[in-house]
Amino acid sequence: MNYFEIDGKNLNIKNSIGIIENNIKIKISGKAVKKVIESRNLIEKWINGNEVVYGVNTGFGEFKDVIISPGDIEKLQVNLLHSHSAGVGKYLPDKIVRLMMFFRINSLAKGYSGVRIELIEFFIKIFNNNLIPLIPSQGSVGSSGDLAPLAQMALTLIGEGYCKLNGKIYKSSDALIKCGLTPIKLSAKEGLALINGTQMMSAYLCKALYDSIYLSKITDISASLSIEASRGTSKAFSDILQRARPHKGQIDCAGNLRNLLAKSDIMKSHIECEKVQDAYSIRCIPQVHGAVKDTIEFCKKVLEIEINSATDNPLIFSEISDHIEGGNFHGEPLALAADYLCIAMSELGNISERRIARLVDGSMSGLPRFLTKNGGLNSGLMIAQYTAAALVSENKVLSHPASVDSIPTSANQEDHNSMGSISTKKCYDVVNNVKKIIAIEFLCAFQGLSFLRPLKGGVGVEEAYKLINKDIKPIDEDIIINELISKIEKVIFDENFLRQIEKKTGILK
């Protein structure tokens, strides 16, 4: 059996999502084991020497000055999990929980947390057995990390709380038995090390980014279909124009559009028309889509640093034989990145909806009104645009930055919080809304192109049309539209859709 070997520093968005999607099992590298053992030896040394270390033999937060007796150190860790399991609301999606677990294991494997290697190995067994803790989604303020969600996750390790196994919900103690596992007893610092981190924020942002990277490419495809259906010009996408304002994303997007529209019969058919230039939602696609691509790239760098970081407190540095109380658990980098991505993806949805509106408006598109032959008796795709408008409006509300807020906690000991949990969760929601908006654009553009047959679009446009046409036919009379949207969403978010188009256009950026 193949295992992915974690060492605390080798994760990226693509391999992380791949491990979760494909249920790949993991193990810890030998080098990481050595580092973990070295830092744990220091913890044991300090305990035996009665040295005061925050979270090891002291209380937490405002109780930082309360010294805990040696006999109560293990109970302190369990009490911490109990008291911090205070989340509420619907449970996190299973894949988000799996990402949380994976990222927390990787952070512990860096060897700065002072936990026993036995704890990490037990955590890996839980992950590899696909045990999924039930974690309420609300309660984190984004520092000291995602305390409440991670505490709920950690309960499973000690046989408390509830989790899923093979789609069924069990008491964690019963689920462990089914997997042949015995709950672990926590030792000094281990409860704190399990919950002091940014892994819920990281999980949400990782999934949102993975989907955004894909969306940024297929939205160039949906836009190219809309350009053809509305008989726009490709002149605004010339390389020389983009390089007069050389933002990388803008250059890449324009290149994608040129490749998608290459050899278009539709484009040739209206080359002598009276139109001087297209509306912004067509003409400015490289400038808008490109800015989104640049935003994604920035956020990707932030996230990939974070998922390979040590984010608890205190951290144990065996190389200098010291512990440092700090703030690596603070979610500000993720909070700001998620708010930035949230705004960018909302804009991707905004401009797509404007193209949808143009396609269904016969006075602007030159196509039958609402893309139906027998208007009046049929309403065509009129309400599909309403749905896109509703999703865009929802995204505008969700795009208010959560990171500008901070509510102090723990009697003002923790007096500035990132609210990154809110930023990342709503970013995830915005991205899912944008998926549906883009599906609607594909539907409208596909229907619009059907009125221009037998003229063919560019090589990429034509391939997209053919792939969609395998499952969906142009509509001649009204049918249930949400079923069409769901079908087309399934087609375009199968990654084979992009791969097939790239065989015609080359790799899209």
Identify the CATH number of the domain in which residue 18 sits.
Answer: 1.10.275.10
pLDDT tier at 69 (50, 70, 90 boundaries)? Answer: confident
CA atoms within 13 A on the CB side of 241: 14
Whether residue 264 is found in the same domain as residue 339: yes
For residue 52, the model assigns a pLDDT of 83
Q: What's the rounded Cα separation, in Å, for the pair 154 and 157?
A: 5
Sign of CA dihedral 357, 211, 403, 406: positive
Strand, helix or coil for residue 8: coil
Whether residue 348 is found in the same domain as residue 434: yes
Q: State the pTM of this model.
A: 0.95
Give the start-end residues of each E strand in 250-328.
315-317, 322-324
Q: How far is CA 470 from CA 146, 227, 384, 457, in A?
A: 45, 22, 21, 17
Whether residue 227 is found in the same domain as residue 137: no
Bridge pairing between strands 315-317 and 168-171 = unpaired
What are the phi and psi torsion angles at 463 (to 5°)?
A: -65, -40
Whether residue 105 is found in the same domain as residue 173: yes
pLDDT over 80 at 478, yes or no:
yes
Bridge pairing between strands 162-165 and 322-324 = unpaired
pLDDT over 80 at 274, yes or no:
no
Give the mean pLDDT of 332-351: 97
Strand, helix or coil for residue 22: coil
Residue 413, both tokens: 């000991």
Whether residue 318 is found in the same domain as residue 464: yes
For residue 410, the model assigns a pLDDT of 82
Q: Which of 283, 274, 276 is CA-nearest to residue 241?
A: 283
Q: Dump pLDDT digits (tens) for 479-490.
A: 999 999 999 999
- Pick the more confident residue, 188 or 341: 341
- 329: part of which helix (H) or strand (E)? none
pLDDT tier at 55 (50, 70, 90 boundaries)? Answer: confident
pLDDT over 80 at 189, yes or no:
yes
Q: Which of 340, 458, 350 is CA-nearest to residue 399?
A: 340
Whether residue 180 is found in the same domain as residue 208: no
Give the mean pLDDT of 259-278: 85
Q: What's the rounded Cα separation, in Å, for the pair 134 and 391?
A: 29
Count of the separate structural domains present in the chain: 2
Whether residue 175 is found in the same domain as residue 279: no
Sign of CA dihedral 317, 322, 323, 325: negative
Whether residue 172 is found in the same domain as residue 261: no
CA-CA-CA-CA dihedral for 124, 126, 129, 131, to nearest 10: -140
Last residue of a domain, one of 139, 162, 197: 197
CA-CA-CA-CA dihedral for 171, 174, 178, 179, to nearest 10: 70
pLDDT over 80 at 91, yes or no:
yes
Q: What's the rounded Cα separation, in Å, for the pair 324 and 505?
A: 53
Last residue of a domain, one of 170, 197, 224: 197
Whether residue 161 is found in the same domain as residue 215: no
Question: In degrees, to the nearest 5, what angle opens at C-alpha 247 toward C-alphas 242 and 249?
Answer: 95
State the catalytic residues.
Answer: 54
Whether residue 182 is found in the same domain as residue 228: no
Whether residue 139 is found in the same domain as residue 274: no
Environment class of residue 167 by beta-carbon count within 10 Å: exposed (0-12), middle (13-18) or buried (19+)? exposed
Q: What's the rounded Cα separation, in Å, for the pair 183 and 189?
A: 17
Residue 376, both tokens: 């009046």
pLDDT over 80 at 271, yes or no:
no
Percent of the chain exceeding pLDDT 90 equals 86
Q: Dump pLDDT digits (tens) for 453-464.
A: 999 999 999 999
User: Which string of DSSP letters, residue by residue, matches 211-237?
Assistant: HHHHHHHHHHHHHHHHHHHTT--SGGG
Output DSSP code: residue 93: P
CATH number of the CATH domain containing 401: 1.20.200.10
Long-range contacts of 50-55, Cβ-Cβ distance < 8 Å, separation of 24 or more: 53/189, 53/314, 53/323, 54/313, 54/314, 54/323, 54/325, 55/189, 55/192, 55/196, 55/313, 55/314
Contact between 29 and 170 under an 8 Å Cβ cutoff? The reply is no
Q: Dump pLDDT digits (tens) for 5-46.
A: 999 999 999 999 999 999 999 999 999 999 999 999 999 999
pLDDT tier at 72 (50, 70, 90 boundaries)? Answer: confident
Residues 6+ apart with CB under 8 A from 404: none
pLDDT tier at 347 (50, 70, 90 boundaries)? Answer: very high
Mean pLDDT of the chain: 94
Contact between 223 and 350 under an 8 Å Cβ cutoff? The reply is no
Question: In degrees, to the nearest 5, what angle opens at C-alpha 225 toward C-alphas 295 and 220?
Answer: 15
Last residue of a domain, one of 171, 197, 223: 197
For residue 58, the model assigns a pLDDT of 82
pLDDT over 90 at 57, yes or no:
no
Whether residue 193 is found in the same domain as residue 213: no
Domain range spanning residue 189?
A: 3-197
Name the β-bridge partners of 322: 317
What order of strands is seen across the sheet that includes strand 168-171? 132-133, 162-165, 168-171
